[in-house]
Chain A
Amino acid sequence: MENLISAKNVTVIRDRQTILDDVSVDVGARDFLTIIGPNGAGKSMLLKCLMGFYAPDKGHVTTRPGLRVGYVPQRLVADPTIPITVRRFLTLRKKVKQQELDRVIAETAIEPSLNKPLAVLSGGELQRVLLARALLNDPELLVLDEPAQNLDITGQLAFYKLLETVYRERNISVLMVSHDLHLVMSSTRNVLCLFHEVCCIGEPRTVTRDPEFISLFGPDMAQLMASYQHHDHHAHSHGHSHDHSHADACRHPEPSPQTTGEEQTDIPSAKTESSSHA
């Protein structure tokens, strides 16, 4: 099947620092690819190259002609000096049929925010609005850059759940940079683990057992990930919600401090949150 976006041997050097080193990756139809990696690993740069915002120093990126892409940025700091309502923002510089608009509004449940100024929305509302705007093109590919980074854990869970529903119902591809691997484990089909170069790529199950993953995130993280996967799987087969699996994960040992990375910092909060609900 033809790839939607394909990067071949992409290398980016900035200020004599190699940001990306010979990275090749394909995003196919119905793919759900999550790019993970520590801070400064070049995740955002890879996304910029894939989106065509930045021309790599070596290698090239090919995009299927006429590909419709919906982009959800990391965060939107809506400046209160710009007077604009959510409704207007959604269709700004876009021609959308009312029917299409109604569908997306229902899909992302943003009806209550429509007449509010963009600047007063909460983090969760804002991310749903951004997702809605991205969906208005009827995209074949959704690109998300750490879409839940500024949300609290409840917001993160809700956002990823919504994203999974959208992915399933619309039969689209998703390309996402995320720190929250433990939250997307069940949705994502493939994981690309990046540290300037491709450390490993594949299904979440295989990736978390990969020695490269373990050396990058530490064995505790790998074990934790493996357990998430297991429980998620379990939860799905019984039609449970994801919260269940998080409660289960509490029994696992804490990640040791010396291996603390970006991803791990989310986990203790996940525990407190889910145990307080339990």
Chain B
Amino acid sequence: MPDPFVLRALAAGIGIALIAGPLGCFVVWRRMAYFGDSLAHSALLGIALGLLTGISSNLGTVLVCSGFALILLWLQHTRVFATDTLLGILAHAALSLGMVAISFADNQRFDLHSYLFGDILTVQVRDLYWIYGGGAVVLALLCRNWLSLTLMTIHEDLARAEGVRTFWVNLMLMMLMTIVVAVSIRIVGILLITALLAIPAATARQWVRSPEAMAILAALFGLVAVFGGIFGSAYLDTPTGPSIVTAATILFAVLLPLSALLKNRFSF
């Protein structure tokens, strides 16, 4: 029987993998990887907010990331700069602001490293509530809007012409990303969240023929990466967050050429 902290780590990892798989598909399809990364950078400001005001850092992260997403939407609407310029400005502004704010806090117990790369082995039961509560919200909304989102991803105006309220669905997707970022910081850290979203989904792509199959397979690959990463890090005494991403990368590196070799004969 593994130690309780390993069980909690596994439970957290499983939860994140199950959410990250389906959401990661949209990150890959809608080219949101850079957006996810910027969102994660801005999370540091949320953590600082948590430290300064005493509210939960999860809540602080959700608040700051939502603000980040809304400012981005508004700036995109003004059409003065391209989105990647805006993201570059906002992400690093929020990151720097976060670091400056943290320096004002009484930060005896602040461990920057654990926020950058995650600290899954110190996950508490309270964190599990956040992961599974947030995850349930994310999956429920994702399932409910799945067809609209998929159609929008293929052609936004076509979806709009067929009655999808694209602005709101877009906003919802951004908010779901903020939740996932907020709850996964403990697992893989700010710098690696996008990898957890993008790598399993990208790995699944070559093996599927339908959007739904890609979401399910991405969640499965995420699970494999989480188990591989946690047990691998215990065995080799390596940092857990980066080990999970490394496991996901190994899976990607093995399966991509394999699918080409098999000429996509095994697709779901």
Contacts and interface: CB of A to CB of B under 8 A. Distances in A.
A266 B159 CA distance: 31
B59 to A, nearest CB: 34
Interface residues of A, number: 24
Interface stretch (A75-83, A221-229, A251-259): A75-83
Contacts of B154: 76, 78-79, 82, 84, 89, 92, 118
B161 A93 contact: no
Contacts of B158: 71, 73, 76, 130, 133
Interface in B137-163: 147-148, 150-151, 153-155, 157-162
Interface string B215-239: 0000000000000000000000000
Nearest to B153: A82
Interface size class of B (residues with CB under 8 A): 20 to 34
A143 interface: yes
Contacts of A53: 157, 160-161
Contacts of B164: 93
Given A51-B161, A93-B148, A83 B155 contact: no
Nearest to B152: A93
Contacts of B85: none
A94 B164 CA distance: 12
Interface string B18-44: 000000000011000000000000000
B209 interface: yes
A51 B160 CA distance: 9
A163 to B, nearest CB: 17
B157 A73 contact: yes
A251 to B, nearest CB: 41
Interface centre among A69, A73, A76, A82 (most CB of B within 10 A): A82
Contacts of A130: 158
Interface centre among A78, A84, A133 (most CB of B within 10 A): A84
Contacts of A79: 29, 153-154
Interface of B is mostly: helix
Contacts of B155: 73, 76
Interface in A13-72: 51, 53, 69, 71
A261 interface: no
Contacts, number: 63
A94 B161 CA distance: 13
A84 B211 contact: yes
B76 to A, nearest CB: 15
Interface centre among A73, A85, A92, A117 (most CB of B within 10 A): A92
A88 interface: yes
Given A89-B154, A93-B151, A83 B161 contact: no
B210 interface: yes
B29 A81 contact: yes
Contact of B210 (A51, A85, A94): A85
B213 interface: yes
Contacts of B211: 82-84
B248 interface: no
Interface string A133-159: 100000000010100000000000000
B147 A93 contact: yes
A70 to B, nearest CB: 8
Contacts of B161: 51, 53, 69, 71, 73, 143
B150 A83 contact: no
A76 B213 CA distance: 23
A93 B162 contact: yes
Given A71-B162, A92-B151, A93-B147, A85 B209 contact: yes
A81 B159 CA distance: 19
B186 interface: no
24 contacts: A51-B160, A53-B161, A69-B161, A71-B157, A71-B162, A73-B155, A73-B158, A76-B158, A79-B154, A82-B211, A83-B213, A84-B150, A84-B211, A85-B210, A92-B147, A92-B151, A93-B147, A93-B159, A93-B162, A117-B209, A118-B154, A130-B158, A133-B158, A143-B161
Given A53-B157, A79-B154, A93-B159, 6 more contacts: A82-B153, A82-B211, A84-B209, A93-B148, A94-B162, A133-B158
